[in-house]
Amino acid sequence: MSTTLEAQATGNELDAFRSEAVQFLAEAVDSGVACPAYGAILVPAMHDQARRWQRYCYDHGWAGLHWPTSVGGQGLSRAHTGVWMEECERAGVAPYLNLQGIVLAGEAILRTGTQRQRERFLHPILTGEMLWCQLFSEPGAGSDLGGLGTAAVADGSRFVLNGQKVWSSNAQFAEYGILMARTEPDAPKHRGISFFLLDMTLPGIEVRPITQMTGDREFCEVFFEDVSIPDDALLGERGGGWGVAMAVLSDERGGAGASGVISLRKRLTKMIEAAGDTGPLGRQSLADLLARGSALAALMELHGADPRMAPVSKLANSELGYDEVAIGASLRGAEAMLDSPETEAFLYAPGMRIAGGTSEIQRNIIGERVLGLPREPSP
């Protein structure tokens, strides 16, 4: 739904809405029905609890706040969604089932989908009946999505899909996936790609979970062998998938919004609390992190609504998070390498410099698209 059609909210309305959200979340936490926050990637062990929580939110009118009522949403404004995200962050509660479904697939279908696609997919996304995964990255095309090789060849009223994807979170549970595949092999690099809504139960799809060094299996390899996709699975124009995907990736990088500032402020508070337990060198390291984090929080508060901020906050937050965990493990000492609260975070942290676009790619985006610098030479 375009912003011109969204309901507009006044300050008083948002204040009243915030009070209702705080009360609803407090009661959900006290009753045990609320699902604890798990970040952008749904942890496999919390899969069932997260589905129940999504359904509970839908049944009580807290799902799809700015989505149209015709698809099961509440018909409110994006400002209402922002308030919900903020209060979920304050309460330590997951705001939705998963980013790939509500934010990426859902917003893409709202923006680009046909009426039939909206009717088919949006309601079960909101109820938690339909879990989604993201099928973009490939072994030879991770950050450079324009170089993807997975092919969907047109054959009458269908496409025949062959290829491989990797780092697809929750693909082992997902009923559907958002897929980028090459449909025009002779077209220029970015113009021959189409965007599909892929039924993960189709014959010829094989999902292989990847065991990470944390021991979890959040990510998967996905293989396609002669998968027959109906042509109504195409989202947007054939060959126009790059534009659809760029809007999706913008949603992914900017999805945290104001809740990201609250999360960051929480982390800064913990840094201040931890400083008292360290020596001078530890306090100096934490002070450096605190200065960087405070500057980022201020920047996000001032310019968070500017879409150009998405790669800036993604880069700064990823690098800050990595350094934060590394210094915490260093201060903990050998215990951090064995079994402590820092152990899993330390093992997980390097991946966040890759997920959602590597730090190197974010620097290129900032340089080329935000600062207007010359493009990086392409060999």
| Residues labelled catalytic | 252
Buried b (16+ CB within 10 A) or exposed e, 130-155: bbbbbbbbbeebbeebbebebbbeee
End-to-end CA distance of the chain: 40
Query: Which residue in 41, 259, 72 sits closest to 50, CA to CA?
Result: 41
CA geometry: angle at 17 spanning 15 and 20, to 5°?
115
With beta carbons less than 8 A apart as the criterion, state whether 307 and 250 touch.
Answer: yes
Q: What is the DSSP letter of 314?
A: H
Q: What size, in residues, is the chain?
A: 379
Q: How far apart are CA 66 and CA 68, in angstroms?
A: 7
Q: Helices marked H in the chain — which ranges? A: 11-31, 47-59, 78-91, 99, 106-112, 115-127, 241-254, 258-275, 280-303, 309-332, 341-348, 359-365
Calculate the alpha carbon distances from 161 to 105, 155, 195, 236, 294 in Å.
20, 10, 12, 18, 47
CA geometry: angle at 203 spanning 233 and 100, to 5°?
50
135 bridge partner residues: 179
